[in-house]
Amino acid sequence: MDYLKIFAPATVANVSCGFDSLGFAVDSVGDEMTFTKTKEKGVKITVITGADLTFDIDKNAASAVVKKILNDANANFGISLTIHKGFSPGSGLGSSAASAAGAAFGTNQLLGNPFTELELTKFAMFGEEVACGTPIADNVSAAIFGGFVLVRSYKPLEIIKLPVPSALRVVAIHPQIEVKTKDAREVLPKEIALKDAVTQWANVGGLISGLHSSDYNLISNSLVDIIVEPARKNLIPFFDKVKESAMAAGALGAGISGSGPTIFALCKGDEIAKNVYKSIKKSYSNTGINFELFISEINQEGIKILSTQPTK
Ligand code: HSE
């Protein structure tokens, strides 16, 4: 294979109770990237559209990952990369993760698939470190594995793919402000009370059990975050208003997507999802802040191959 075009999905990390350990992939929003083999070794980025990102190979999350994998695999070719962002950096939808995970996946394909999904996740975590200073796994593993994932352990890295109940839909609103992950991590408590930890890990267990048994009530009762959301919600204008409007329209739960500012709501079925979409839209329309809003199924397969032939 000398050429590849892929779709790398946006992802919702944390999923309320599972800070840094739960995530899922979105089906309707993501980036497109192309990979072309070159005779000369090394990486170059020829085109970036949709966002103002660096072309510096060692600072761009995608090219840094491509470079690392080619070096580690001792490849005898190089890669020329194009990146077409379908959503903004700083949205809380795993923008750098889509780039890093897409880069790991695409490079692996051109190498003939020597690496496992877990190894690709480790490479993509390096891209997260390049982009935001911390090698977080929740977004990149959701993008690579698809569906819902649990980062069961960081050392050693262990990713558990969880089942996705078929009627689950996500509605997400992205207020057009930027929240930097680094800033959103600085507002977090350094210590938490044992009773709060008990509540939080019981909800993580409940959510995972609910995903396994397609028990939407249990999913709904478990989509609660008493630790991170209270600390971060002040960074997101009108967070409570959006959450209340989503719940009033029948959402199972709503919370901050990753480090924000995107707010997600999980819903059972298309009809409720449409009502939640309308309700959130109405709640945000008079705030004076521009926003983007979408409904999506949960992406089950992760990164998708769109083409293996360059368009003429
Ligand atoms: N789990 C991370 C956070 C996601 O909430 O800070 C952002 O990369």
What is the structure's pLDDT at 11? 98
What is the structure's pLDDT at 166? 97
What is the structure's pLDDT at 181? 86
Full set of structural domains in the chain with CATH? 3-162 (3.30.230.10), 168-297 (3.30.70.890)
For 96-154, what is each residue's pLDDT tens digit? 999 999 999 999 999 999 999 999 999 999 999 999 888 999 999 999 999 999 999 99
Instruction: Looking at the CA of residue 228, tell me the nearest atom of ligand 1.
Output: 5
Ligand 1 pocket: which of 228, 259, 262, 264 to mutate (most atoms within 8 A of CB): 259
CA–CA gap between residue 95 and residue 75 (Å, rounded): 27
pLDDT band at residue 82, thresholds of 50, 70 and 90?
Answer: very high
The answer to whether 141 and 13 have CB atoms below 8 angstroms apart is no
CA–CA gap between residue 128 and residue 105 (Å, rounded): 15
For 164-189, what is each residue's pLDDT tens digit? 999 999 999 999 998 988 899 999 99
Annotated catalytic residue, options 34, 107, 181, 262: 181
107 catalytically annotated: no
Tokens describing residue 127:
């891209």
Total Cβ atoms within 10 A of residue 1: 12
% of the chain with per-residue pLDDT over 90:
95
182 by Cβ neighbours in 10 Å (0-12 / 13-18 / 19+) ranks as exposed
For residue 78, the cross-strand partners are 38, 42
CA–CA gap between residue 141 and residue 240 (Å, rounded): 29
What is the structure's pLDDT at 311? 81
Tokens describing residue 302:
């992760």
> What is the rounded average pLDDT for all residues in the chain?
96
Annotated catalytic residue, options 107, 121, 128, 229: 128
Whole-model pTM: value is: 0.95
Mean pLDDT computed over 5-20? 98
Q: Is beta strand 148-154 parallel, antiparallel or unpaired with respect to 157-162?
A: antiparallel
For 225-243, what is each residue's pLDDT tens digit? 999 999 999 999 999 999 9
CB of 225 sitting under 6 A from ligand 1: no
- Is a pLDDT exceeding 80 seen at residue 29? yes
The CA 134 to ligand 1 mean position distance, Å, reads 9
CB of 222 sitting under 6 A from ligand 1: no
pLDDT band at residue 88, thresholds of 50, 70 and 90?
Answer: confident
